[in-house]
Structure 1
Amino acid sequence: MSAASCLLTEHQLLCSICLDVFTDPVSAPCGHNFCKTCITDHWNSDVLCQCPHCKKVFNTRPELQVNTLICEVVAQCRRSARQRAGSFGSEQPVSKPGEVPCDVCTGTKPKAPKSCPVCMASYCQTHLEPHLTKSGLKRHRLIDPAEDPEGGMCRKHDKLLELFCKSDQTCVCMLCAVLDHKNHDVAPLKEEYEGKKAELRTTDAEIQLMIRERRLKIEEIRRSVELSKRDADREAADGVQVFSALEESVERSQAEFIDTIKEKQRKTEKRAEGFIEELEQEISELKQRSTKVEQLSQSEDHLLLLQSFPSLNAAPPTKDWTEVSVRPPSYEGTARRAVNELQETLSEQTKKLSEVLELKRVQRFAAEVTLDPDTAQNRLILSDDGKQVYDSDVRKNLPDGPQRFDCACVLAKQSFSSGRFYYEVQVKGKTDWDLGVARESANRKGQISLRPQNGYWMMWLRNKNEYKALAGPSVRLSLKSQPEKVGVFVDYEGGLVSFYDVDAAALLYSFTDCCFTGKLCPYFSPCVNDNGKNSAPLIISAVNQAE
């Protein structure tokens, strides 16, 4: 490789992190190259694992590959540079601020790679050569470049610090070990160095573990913030929906209130206008009569006056207006009644909207639920997909294990021992059914008493319209309509089991302050066929989670 090409290559082979020629060059998956130490330190100090050059993000920390081609090019360039340097270090890297310069060189001082505590000086690569070749100087122990090489010498005895006193945790020379640190636990400096270096590696591993733990905590916190934001946006949207509906109700009630006032006023005006029209008609007729009377009184015709007098002298056919009046309608209490009606409307609407939002909230915890044939009574027929069950009225020959019910019941395959879950069941067309959750360990044989004390939290229908929550004692439920689809929600830690009329978005009943232990399973009973009257199946429905 020519000198010109080597210089050009060395100029181009700079690490984009330290801006120096590559040391142990490695390649990232994106193709960009870095010093191994530079890219490792960069990724250790950054939350995201990304290329500093092209900013490409790696989901997992990639395995770095040594770039052998660049290694060879860098080595060749450095060898060529040393050959060009000749007898003096004019081509050696100039010391930068914070770096130790050569103490021998004059003018521009190159960087010193080593210091000699015996000679109390630091040397560039050229002036270091005697310490590497001459027998007397080769015995000097070279150290990493230090601003004060004397720091490696004992100030009391002017001897090299080459021992470590473990008792006093300090570096000592040979005379110190004999005179001042007699009977102390003293070890060679290199031995203690290796031990401390191993401890530092352990410490660094612990630090790296702490860094990883904190990065994971950062990710956890960020996920929590994202979930919180998502919940906040959803809650805000639901709130806007509620307030918009209530605002529409207020505006509608206000419009109805104003229309009521206007209608009263309109009727009053219409009645008054009728009276005024009648009075004006009578006035017109009276004016005509007055004119005739006045003309007759001025007539000189004796015969005409006597003949007309009876008709004109008689009282005119007018209405008695004495008791007639137009009283302003009473508006007192109109606003109060309107406000009371609005309050009732808003109360009902708020309750309804709250139930809708509550149902939407619990539907977000929809769980996959399928029926477990190993728990089904031998008269029950389950669909192939495990979503439907009905009573066949005919017993099948099935193995009777401890998990199989004696009565017309079946559990879900899924069980839950924490968190919240929700599922929906179509009950349309049935006269009898049981729904709820059961403790996995609850009794399944003989006469079962479905109550919380026995590990069953149930609601049932009997005789088409008799609904009860089996709370022990049972609670009769008065429902406005018969549910065709029932939702069941469980909050394990919250001790809550709630039943909903899905179509009406109405809460039917809640078991509160429940004390759950062990696993809970969704429970289904289509009840007996009753000669075909109750042959419709219970169907586990897909939950509509539309916003």
Structure 2
Amino acid sequence: MRKMLKHMKAHLEKHNELFRWRKHPLTEATDLQSKTCSLHGRLMDVFCRTDQKCVCLLCALHEHKNHHSVSASEERADRQRKLMETREKFLQNVRDREKDFQELKQAEESVTCSAQTAVSESERIFSEVLCSVQKTSVCVTELIAERQREELSHIEGLQEKVQQKISDLRLKMSELDPFLTTEDHIHFLQNYPSDCEESTSEESEDLSNISENPKAFFCNVELLLSKLQERLMHVTKETAIKI
């Protein structure tokens, strides 16, 4: 115990000598074993940027004498800023994915509405013609439903991808939050996720084919049916006159 107190006293003296020209607050240490220099038995509160590791004051004065060293709090502040920027990028990616998801939801509603309109119109038209064309009406209805299923299946697949990206981004954000709140500089530096900045670039799903004009998916069906109606009515009238 006396030996530890002696080391702490010497540590504070060296600390004041090295950092007397700038602010360098002392914080209460936890898990002293992982934060104590194995070479000198002193607390590590200096960060060697040359070797990218935490060292004690004696290491900074001797083994790392000519290296670029700063206080742990200064390095923490610098990496804290980078981490905040990384988190902001994740947050922006979440917003972008949420926007994509909303566009997909709107496209889904538009496709469904367009499909229902096309089916209703086809039924209305074929109800006005002879019973001999009822089979064609049923066939057209099935084709519309199949196209609807294809489009909705495509949209649902994109929705799942966007939701998964949102979940992944939120998970990455939650993994960063403990680092942003901890006051333990050494724990922060020793466990800093060095690869987090490389994973912030997210590509948006290509929604150009979906969101361009989803209401017009089945316009061509309605147009073809209208022309068919005109031809059928013309044939009917002409046949009636001949009869």
Give the TM-score band, short-chain normalised.
0.3 to 0.5
Q: Max radius of gyration: which structure? A: 1
Q: Please give the TM-score of this superposition, normalised by the length of structure 1.
A: 0.20
Say which structure is richer in helix: 2
Say which structure is richer in strand: 1
User: Taking CA–CA contacts closer than 8 Å with sequence separation of 6 or more, which of the two structures ends up with the larger relative contact order?
Assistant: 2
Q: Please give the TM-score of this superposition, normalised by the length of structure 2.
A: 0.42
